[in-house]
Amino acid sequence: MIRDARVLRAGFVPQEVEHRDAEVNHLSSVLDPITNGEPADTAIVTGPSGTGKTCISKFVTERLREEVLDVEAIYVNCWRNYTRFRTLYQILDDLGATIDIHRQSTPHDELVDRLQQHDGPRTVVILDEVDQLEDPSVIYDLHSLPQFAIICIANKEEELFSRVDERLVSRLRSSEHVRMNKYHDEQLYDILDARAKWCLDEDVIADDQLYRIADAAAGDARLAIGILRTAAGKADRENHERITDDILLDAAEDIRAQIKQKSLDSLTPHQRVYDIVREHGPVGPSEIHQRYTEEVDDPRTKRTIRTYLSKMRQYNLLEAEGTSRDREYATVESRSAATTT
DNA sequence: GTTCCACAGGAAAATATGGAGG
DNA sequence: CCTCCATATTTTCCTGTGGAAC
């Protein structure tokens, strides 16, 4: 029943990108100078999750590599490589220039020097989730090297700009900016339909089911494809002829639970803090810490709890109201599968 | 207004953790 | 097993902010 499972996997780059012609062309035009061997500007791609930022960036660079012989593409996820050192190391590693770098004793500046001396083909560096970098100066490092074209991917441009210093802000403001919006339900349907045709046998899933997935995903393509993948996998394992509505419902729940669990897993065991906020409704920091201290063996200090809270805010698990003494934390209302009907 | 104080979050020092090499 | 080193986490110390009580 599943013809080609790759098509539904995360990170799959399709042959054709649906409904993103303008954005694809925009990004292509930024990289266009490379086809003549000239340096390209830095591009910034922003938009909410699941809008295809990573997808079109990879798509455009792959197409560029088909056109131009001498060009390399490097993809770095800054979420996983969130220090300046790691990011630079990752790039050098992909270039194959890390042979004699030992983490001891190699100063950061030498990594930049090493990149500068790199005289291979022109290289497009995709910095994904660049707003997760703890030290965004790595953008500056790369920005000054003409042999590297940079694509910065971030959720919100303001958050990106607020964290980099002045000189970089002014440079980034003048660079090309591709903004992505959430998909409409019909667009999402088209994407799902295309993937389903590729990956699944005919009649495994009905049109109206695809519509319902699109609806439940609320404009997030990654979520939508995840639901389809989970549903297809489950139907396959259980030897169903086709995807039933029950399976679909389960899959939608599974994916949401997975996403939340994934966020929770990346926190320390002291995530009890999250439970406290969930159980006691909107609540201020003092009360959180007080309750937390009572429930845990070796409590952390208030300052550390503040760090946890702000981390959970980043992960979209909590939201905060108020900026000073009036601040209260609450759990984020999870967009349920039944938001729209 | 003014004062007070809980709060946010940066910087740096202190401490825990992990992993390579003996 | 232990030691050493780098890295990761936590604590300490701190400044600036703005709501609340006066």
The answer on A67 and A29 residing in a single domain is yes
- pLDDT value at residue A108: 64
- pLDDT value at residue A98: 58
**Section A111-123 average pLDDT:** 78
Extended beta strands in A84-162, E state:
122-128, 148-154
The answer on A288 and A156 residing in a single domain is no
Q: Check whether residue A83 has its CB closer than 7 Å to nucleic acid strand C.
A: yes
Percent of chain A at pLDDT exceeding 70: 91
CATH number assigned to the domain comprising residue A216: 1.10.8.60
pLDDT at A341 over 70: no
Query: Where does residue A311 rank: exposed (0-12), middle (13-18), buried (19+ CB within 10 A)?
Result: middle
Q: How far is the CA of A156 from the C1' of B14 (A)?
A: 35
- pLDDT value at residue A178: 93
In a domain, A7, yes or no: no
- pLDDT value at residue A30: 93
In a domain, A1, yes or no: no
The answer on A314 and A241 residing in a single domain is no
Which residue is closest, via its CA, to the C1' of C10? A304
Asked whether the beta carbons of A132 and A82 are under 8 A apart, the reply is yes
The answer on A95 and A30 residing in a single domain is yes
CATH number assigned to the domain comprising residue A295: 1.10.10.10
Secondary structure class of A102 (helix, strand, coil):
coil
In a domain, A69, yes or no: yes
The answer on A146 and A33 residing in a single domain is yes
Which nucleotide lies at the shortest CA–C1' distance from A286? B6
The answer on A218 and A126 residing in a single domain is no
Q: Check whether residue A300 has its CB closer than 7 Å to nucleic acid strand C.
A: yes
Extended beta strands in A208-327, E state:
318-321
In a domain, A109, yes or no: yes
Percent of chain A at pLDDT exceeding 90: 25
- pLDDT value at residue A339: 37
Q: Check whether residue A326 has its CB closer than 7 Å to nucleic acid strand C.
A: yes
| Mean pLDDT of all residues belonging to chain A | 83
A134-155 residue pLDDT tens:
677 778 778 878 888 999 998 8
- In 10 A of CB A6, how many CB atoms? 9
Q: pTM above the 0.75 mark?
A: yes
Asked whether the beta carbons of A238 and A262 are under 8 A apart, the reply is no
Terminal-residue alpha carbon distance, chain A: 29
The answer on A160 and A28 residing in a single domain is yes
Q: How far is the CA of A282 from the C1' of C13 (A)?
A: 29
**CA distances (Å), origin A318, targets A30, A291, A313:** 37, 17, 5
The answer on A192 and A170 residing in a single domain is no
Which is more confidently placed, A263 or A321? A321
- pLDDT value at residue A238: 87
The answer on A281 and A249 residing in a single domain is no
Among the candidates A155, A179, A203, a domain finishes at: A179
Beta bridge partners of A319: A330
CATH number assigned to the domain comprising residue A149: 3.40.50.300
Q: Which residues contact A273 (CB under 8 A, 6 or more apart)?
A: A288, A292, A305, A308, A309, A312
pLDDT at A231 over 60: yes
Q: How far is the CA of A303 from the C1' of C7 (A)?
A: 21
Beta bridge partners of A330: A319
Residue A225 lies in domain:
185-262
In a domain, A142, yes or no: yes
Q: What is the dihedral of CA A64, A66, A69, A70, to 10 degrees?
A: 40
Extended beta strands in chain A, E state:
43-46, 71-77, 122-128, 148-154, 176-179, 318-321, 328-331
The answer on A305 and A205 residing in a single domain is no
Asked whether the beta carbons of A101 and A92 are under 8 A apart, the reply is yes
pLDDT at A69 over 50: yes
* Domains identified in chain A, total number: 3
pLDDT band at A29 (very low <50, low <70, confident <90, very high): very high
**Strand B: protein residues, Cβ closer than 7 A:** A 284-286, 302-303, 306, 309-310, 320, 323-325, 327
Among the candidates A262, A283, A318, a domain finishes at: A262
Among the candidates A116, A147, A179, a domain finishes at: A179
The answer on A115 and A61 residing in a single domain is yes
Which is more confidently placed, A30 or A93? A30
- pLDDT value at residue A336: 42
pLDDT at A102 over 70: no
pLDDT at A304 over 70: yes
pLDDT band at A340 (very low <50, low <70, confident <90, very high): very low
Which nucleotide lies at the shortest CA–C1' distance from A106? C6
- pLDDT value at residue A78: 82
Q: How far is the CA of A138 from the C1' of C17 (A)?
A: 31
The answer on A139 and A155 residing in a single domain is yes
